[in-house]
A and B are shown apart, each in its own frame.
Chain A
Amino acid sequence: MESTSRTFEDNARKALIDADLRRALTKLGHGFPVKRRMAVERLPEFEGLRDAARAIKEDVLENLDFYLERFEERVVEQGGQVHWCVDAAEANQAVLAICQEAGARTVTKSKSMIGEEIAINEHLEANGITPVETDLGEYIIQLRGEPPSHIIAPAIHLSMDQVTETFRQCHDGLAADRELSEPRDLLEEARAILRQKFLAADVGITGANMLIAETGSVAVVTNEGNADLTMTLPRVHVVIASLEKVVPTLEDATTILRVLARSATGQETSVYTTFASGPRRPGDSDGPEEFHVVLLDNGRGAMLGGDFHDVLRCIRCGACLNHCPVYGTIGGHAYGWVYSGPIGAVLSPGLIGLEEAGHLPNASTLCGKCEEVCPMRIPLPKMLRHWRTRQFDRDLVPPASRAALKGWAFLAKRPALYRAATGLAMRLLGALGRRRGAFRRMPLAGGWTAARDLPAPEGATFMAQWSRRKGARP
């Protein structure tokens, strides 16, 4: 998708006056975080599991080549293929070639953030192949031509009325006066339509929550079972995954699964957890004839060992979004690209460039809630700071901000001058504001005073008063 991260401020302003979005975000804020907390409280070893999960991923990142090669060996042994792709273009081309080889007209797709990252749907459409999203949320936003606004709940920004309206507009050939007032009605309608798509598809594309090196399996979790139909009904199954998704063993996968759903939705486990290994074997009653894994690097290999190494532990649970006060205020679309929230603010500058996504690492209070809840203990605030440092070093900071900062730093490094300047200013502001206690407006502080009063300083600074006192009482 085309990024709109450059216009983050405008995107955010629009989000702040979108009543449907505000309702949806309020609901989100009271939903997932509460459920996560309850799930964590029910599992005394949760913190230990986080450490174990982190250790697994750290080992993976230390030995990434080893585990990936092992994974490939196992896939090949079972009759599947692995396609190594350096970037989005290569991955798109690999998927397209498989689809063309299969003579595909339509493909079904279960939710995949890598699919969003490489914009596979656009690429297939441009080449005459129709992709159909089968996760309900993804299906809804596909109908609306929107990007996902959340890693695990792509249509979280929509109200039920908006979905109803979309179904009435997009689902042709159904009675115009049909009942669509209950969630159940919407679900039944989507299910009936998707069932036909599942049966008609030539290729099924899924993402992967994990790739298991010891067995060559892919693990996929959903709450709707749509990934299972996507991977078993069509003749060809294509998995698109980034390379850090690999884990050594099934045992390791289960450790990570134990923190994944709890962190994401507060469920103990997702409704469907599927391990798929290779194509259909002789005697199997179902399964695809072909099994392909399209493995995407897209800059990840280069992140190993660097400032952003730790972010490769991410398991895309969405906990950092669910708990982020900024995400909770503006929603996902304002971030302007595929990944939103704290994880998006760390990933996007690396994937689409710091020039494009420069706002994102700055649009955070560094409150640390994301790191507190991240099951993989990724130090997201630290990484946001890394991006800010790079921005400053590469002179990507707006000149006015840079000048203000430099002016302030000049004073802060010269205590005597600082005291003279601030002492005078505070005495003046103190005298002006003493009676009312706060200013409603203040030159150069229009951003602050738009929403709040500016409390007035008391007057003489602490340092001025302290040195006077010391003078009086040596």
Chain B
Amino acid sequence: MAGQSPHVGLFVTCLVDLMRPSVGFAAVKLLQAAGCAVTVPAAQTCCGQPAYNSGDDEDARAIARRVIAAFEGFDYVVAPSGSCAGTIKVHYPRLFAGDTDMAKRAEDLARRTHELTSFLNDVLQVTDSKAEYRAKVTYHDTCSGLRELAVKTAPRALLGGVKGVELAESGGAETCCGFGGTFCVKYPDISGHMVDAKADDVIASGADVLLGGDLGCLLNIAGRLKRRGAAVGVRHVAEVLAGMTGGPAIGEGEG
């Protein structure tokens, strides 16, 4: 493969597709800038987590089969989400544990799949960034990225290359924000308290902007910060790395 650009299939993730497409474009820009040829398979919808985490293994498997088929043949599959990448990488092989042929294909996809910042930093070893972002930022380590994929240093290393970024770590960076996918819908009261504690922690860091690698968590935290009237912006880390911070932050209006 030497001399050829790696062919990356972008797993957009349902939340980026629906809620914040600009994160998807930021991911494409970053991957292309790093020398990848990027394809976005049209057959993708979601990784199936809502079904998988709700115990609906049958639907989870049905969706996983489609994802596995749609992403066959790429050198790499990259998702701007630790949680969706974690589902593909860690949980798809488990889902097909009893089915040798599918398990093999799931393992193969798992091996090729990466969370965006970890792909850029750990696999492609991207060091230079042309982006500039003058802000004091704090980073929220999203649970699946951190604990299933060990995404911890990659986003920080990449942010270190962005001119103007000052990182102010918060004490609870690794504490769950209370999103939990269907959890926030099933147990809204508990989830609401958890995200409030997260907002306290973010505000205490003194940062102007909270960054993270998973849109679910970011929507949750941004929603709470906004409700509290806190002056902390929330963005997906890809937006900053790609220098695409011209638009409003998550939950911020145009007017």
Contact = CB atoms under 8 A, between A and B. Distances in A.
Interface of A: 9, 12-13, 16, 325-326, 329-330, 362-369, 371-372, 382, 385, 387-393, 397, 401, 405-406, 408-409, 411-413, 415, 418, 422, 426, 433-438, 440, 446-448, 450-458, 460-463, 465-467
Contact of A397 (B21, B54, B66, B185): B54
B190 to A, nearest CB: 6
Nearest to B94: A382
A457 B222 CA distance: 13
B255 interface: yes
Nearest to B59: A409
B187 to A, nearest CB: 6
Nearest to A465: B21
Given A385-B55, A409-B63, A412-B46, A12 B19 contact: no
Nearest to B41: A415
B55 A392 contact: yes
Given A385-B55, A405-B50, A412 B63 contact: yes
Contacts of B185: 447-448
14 contacts: A366-B53, A367-B176, A405-B59, A406-B56, A434-B255, A447-B185, A451-B193, A452-B195, A455-B251, A458-B21, A458-B22, A462-B25, A463-B12, A465-B21
Nearest to A460: B21
B144 A368 contact: yes
A365 B63 CA distance: 22
- Central interface residue in B62, B184, B187, B194, by most chain A CB within 10 Å: B187
Interface of B: 12, 14, 16-22, 24-25, 40, 42-46, 48, 50-57, 59, 62-63, 66, 94, 143-144, 146-148, 174-176, 178-181, 183-197, 219-220, 222-224, 226-227, 247-248, 250-255
Contacts, number: 216
B190 A462 contact: no
B42 A415 contact: yes
Contact of A462 (B12, B56, B195, B196): B12
- Central interface residue in A329, A387, A390, A397, by most chain B CB within 10 Å: A329
Given A437-B253, A466-B24, A415 B55 contact: no
Nearest to B228: A452
A435 B248 CA distance: 10
B62 A413 contact: yes
B223 A454 contact: yes
Given A434-B254, A437-B254, A452-B192, A457 B20 contact: yes
Main SS class of interface, B: helix
Contact of A12 (B12, B22, B66, B187): B187
A434 B19 CA distance: 12
B36 to A, nearest CB: 16
Given A368-B143, A413-B59, A413-B66, A455 B19 contact: yes
A437 B21 contact: no
Nearest to A451: B192
B78 to A, nearest CB: 14
B188 A447 contact: yes
- Central interface residue in A401, A415, A452, by most chain B CB within 10 Å: A452
B191 A451 contact: yes
A412 B178 contact: no
Contacts of A460: 21
A36 to B, nearest CB: 14
Nearest to B192: A451
A410 to B, nearest CB: 9
Contact of B223 (A325, A387, A434, A453): A453
A412 B224 CA distance: 28
Contacts of B255: 434-436
Contacts of B48: 412
A462 B24 contact: yes
Contact of A365 (B12, B46, B176, B188): B176
A405 B195 contact: no
- Central interface residue in B50, B55, B193, by most chain A CB within 10 Å: B55
B175 to A, nearest CB: 6
Given A365-B179, A392-B57, A435-B253, A330 B51 contact: no
Given A389-B55, A397-B54, A462 B63 contact: no
B213 to A, nearest CB: 15
Contacts of A453: 222-224, 226-227, 251
A333 B36 CA distance: 53
Contact of B44 (A16, A369, A411, A415): A415
A455 B236 CA distance: 13
B188 A448 contact: yes
B194 to A, nearest CB: 6
Contacts of B143: 365-369
B105 to A, nearest CB: 18
Contacts of B62: 409, 413
Contact of B57 (A362, A369, A389, A438): A389
A325 to B, nearest CB: 4
Contacts of B192: 450-452
A140 B14 CA distance: 51
B45 A415 contact: yes
Contact of A391 (B55, B147, B224): B55
A16 B193 contact: yes
Contacts of B195: 451-452
A165 B178 CA distance: 35
A390 B191 CA distance: 24
Contacts of A372: 147
Contact of A457 (B18, B46, B190): B18
Contacts of B94: 382
Given A365-B176, A438-B226, A457-B18, 10 more contacts: A325-B176, A329-B193, A363-B190, A409-B62, A413-B59, A415-B66, A434-B253, A455-B226, A455-B251, A465-B21
Contact of B45 (A364, A418, A447, A454): A418
A467 B42 contact: yes
Contact of A392 (B12, B56, B146, B186): B56
Contacts of A463: 12, 17, 40, 42
Contact of A367 (B50, B56, B180, B248): B180
Nearest to B249: A437
Contacts of A465: 21, 25
Contacts of A364: 180, 183
A392 B54 contact: yes
Contact of A368 (B14, B46, B148, B187): B148
Contacts of A367: 143, 147, 176, 180
